[in-house]
Amino acid sequence: MRRIVFLDFDGVVAWCWAGKSAKERLRRDRVAVLNTVIARTCCLVVVCSTWRLNPRTGEGFAGPQLQAWLREAGFIGEIIGITCHIGGEGVRGLEIQRWLDENEGEKSRRS
């Protein structure tokens, strides 16, 4: 069974700097820390960050776009999914649980 890490971006691999694009906010040194976790645990990545959302449209960056930006910052992992958006405060855990429930076989398929 493979391990999965649910990745938030802001404060983890990116910092909020006014006037910077999303891609420019990614920090290579923080991506390197994530790479260490991935290398040590052989985990796969599911994005649970608000980066998956656009505040104006409710749509966000697709997994391939996020993966490409992370790759440019040195990312060695694989994004296998993005959690749904339920909306509201304090629902991140519910979004993650829904992804786990809907992707129950994911762990065994990727082993």
| 55 pLDDT above the threshold of 50 | no
Q: Give the pTM.
A: 0.80
The pLDDT value recorded for residue 42 is 95
Q: What is the pLDDT of residues 61-85, one digit of tens each?
A: 667 778 888 999 999 999 898 888 8
Neighbouring residues of 45: CB distance < 8 A, sequence distance ≥ 6: 4, 5, 7, 38, 77, 78, 79, 80
Q: In which residue are the tokens 């104006």 written?
A: 56
The pLDDT value recorded for residue 54 is 55
Report the DSSP pairing between strands 79-82 and 4-7. Answer: unpaired
pLDDT band for position 34 (50/70/90)?
very high
pLDDT band for position 106 (50/70/90)?
low
